[in-house]
Amino acid sequence: SGVGLSLVLGFGVAYACYYLNSIAKKPQLVASNDRFCRFLEEYCPVVTETYYPTIWCWEGRVQTLLRPFITSRPQVQYRNELIKTADGGQISLDWFDNNDSSYYPDASTRPTVLLLPGLTGTSKESYILHMIHQSKTLGYRCVVFNNRGIAGEELLTPRTYCAANTEDLEAVIHHVHSLHPSAPFMAAGVSMGGMLLLNYLGKTGRDTPLMAAAIFSAGWNVFESVESLEKPLNWLLFNYYLTTCLQSSISRHRQMLEKLFDMDLVMKARTVREFDKQFTSVMFGYRSIDDYYEDSSPCRKLKSVGIPVLCLNSVDDVFSPAHAIPVETAKQNANVALVLTSCGGHIGFLEGIWPRKCTYMDRVFKQFVQAVFEHGNKIFSM
């Protein structure tokens, strides 16, 4: 027993040393604008502090897989609104009005955060619920943009959504701003929602009612993302499941979509690339899957972003490989700051022994949103 105890203690010490020396690290902050850097250091200090991933599940794939099952799901009471689009479709918005806000009792000036979920995500995703919980404590209002046909509403036209086409997002931003024109307004996008938001910002530059934006786990180069996801282990763990989720999201709209698509062929896809080739790229009129992926990749539009944007990625995210993160491009735009952690996976960022409540991503979101709404004048003159 004494030998066994010594082995256990020795292993524990060795593991702790390895963890502290190789796993727990400060994130890399990439920003060319000194004022933006100082702003983040003062009002969003979490981006300069050591990130201590959960000691028993720090690897990227493990964090990605476990987060949906480990993290809690805060209770949120939504108010749903369906808005019409120019082409005859409809978009489902889920509002958290926060009418009990003691910090901002006047609804007309209550800060508003627009939230964009991931590829097949909705307002029910745990990471969205946590963002709303963080916003609630600060007194802010939130509205979740659910992509067409994915949150239970019917498709009125044979059209869903993609990362490149920003028309629906533009309509939502205009609608929310028109309802509360005096309220400070920013947005946060996760995964594909972050890609869509970046593509919108690259298109609009400074011509947007948004004050700033936060981006989490965006896929910067879609070619590199799908190639990474098609590696055998990643296909088994993520790609096939994602493909079935995409197919499931459109299957209940089959009668509407069969007017334009060979749905039997679409349902035979076994990778995200095959699904996009047979369905998404065709729906939005691209000549080829390569044309669609080029237009969807936010790295191509990052130079044109005209408002302050904070982007959090982990370098071990198989959805967005480290070599595809546009570090050099980000350095050419004073409005952009990248925060790169060594661990965290895709929308993982688990921390603490039992990471049920708050993740590193949640803390970055809370601090940056609060910094923008309460001290944003210090960066808007950039």
Active site residues: 191, 317, 346
- What six digits make up the tokens of 337? 């700051």
Portion of the chain with pLDDT greater than 70, in percent: 98
Burial 102-118 (b: 16+ CB within 10 A, else e): eebeeeeebbbbbbbbb
Nearest to 351, CA basis, from 51, 96, 12: 51
Q: Which positions ≥6 away from 116 have C-beta within 8 Å?
A: 144, 145, 169, 187, 188, 189, 190, 193, 194, 196, 197
Read off the pLDDT of each residue in 210-217 and give the average, rounded to a whole number: 98
Which domains does the chain carry? 24-220+301-380 (3.40.50.1820), 222-296 (no CATH)
Q: What is the pLDDT of residues 83-117, one digit of tens each?
A: 999 999 999 999 999 999 999 999 999 999 999 99
pLDDT at 379: 77
pLDDT at 141: 98
pTM for the model: 0.96
Q: What is the pLDDT of residues 252-290, one digit of tens each?
A: 999 999 989 999 999 999 999 999 999 999 999 999 999
pLDDT band at 5 (very low <50, low <70, confident <90, very high): confident
pLDDT band at 8 (very low <50, low <70, confident <90, very high): confident
